[in-house]
Every structure is written in structure tokens, then in C-alpha cells.
Amino acid sequence: MDSKKLIIGGLAIAIILSIAAPFLASPNPDGLESTAEKIINEHALENNLQQVGLEEEGTLAPSPMPDYTIAGMGKIGEILSLIIGTIIVFALAYGVSFVLKKPSAN
């Protein structure tokens, strides 16, 4: 399989997953969130939140599309954010591996 076919085929699968995920993904909390719901030590959480300066757990990074959503765009926003993320990861992984690749033999 040549690389053009690989890229087109692979990106097609990734885009299909990005479109399907907002409809198919389980809304249930993941393993870590479920565990936290059951057993988290609220006191320790409060201390850590205060230390990092957050009101609730999340991130200090300014995130343009929090939780894979775009404000006011509903499901379309979720799909778009995943497609944008897929393209960013593709470009980043391509760029980084291009820069880091081993020198060619000749």
C-alpha cells in the first residue's frame, strides 16, 4: 500500500470516527471519573484545587473547545471539534516525525 492511499484511508477512518463519536459515544463517566464519584476525598480535592487556583477540577490551560464542544453549536460543534482535533494531531504527528526522522542512508 503506498503512502497516499494509507493517508487517505486512515484519515477517512478517523473522520468517520469523529462524525460518529458524538452520536455513539457512551455519555457515562470514564473509569477515573466513576472512581472519583464514588471515593474522592473532598477535603484533599479542595486543598489541591485551591493550590492550583481552580474552582473545580479541569485544566489551567485555556481550552478553545472544552470537552470537545464548540459553544452554541451542539452536535455539529462536537463533530467539528473532533475533526479539527484529528487534523491537528495528524499535522502535529506528521510535522514532528518529519523534523525528527533519521537521516536517510544516502
Partner 1 sequence: MHIPDGFMPMWESILFWIISLIFISKSVLWAKQNLDEKAIPLFAVLGAGIFAAQALNMPIPWGTSGHLVGAALTSIVFDSPWAGVLMLTLILIVQGLFFADGGILAMGANIFNMGIIGGFVGYYVYKSLKSINSFVAAFAAGWAATFLAAIACAVEMAVAGTFPIEQGLMFMGLYHAVIGILEGIITAVVVEFLKSVKPETLKSESTSLS
Sites for partner 1 among residues 67-96 (CB under 8 A): 67-68, 81-82, 84-94, 96
Could you tell me the three cell numbers for 55?
474552582
What is the spatial distance between Cα 50 and Cα 27, in angstroms, rounded to a whole number? 29
What is the spatial distance between Cα 81 and Cα 71, in angstroms, rounded to a whole number? 11
Site for partner 1 in 7-66 (CB under 8 A): 7, 9-11, 13-15, 17-18, 20-22, 24-32, 34-36, 38-41, 44-45, 47-49, 51-52, 54, 56-61, 63-66
Could you tell me the three cell numbers for 11?
484519515
> How many residues at the interface with partner 1, by CB under 8 A?
71
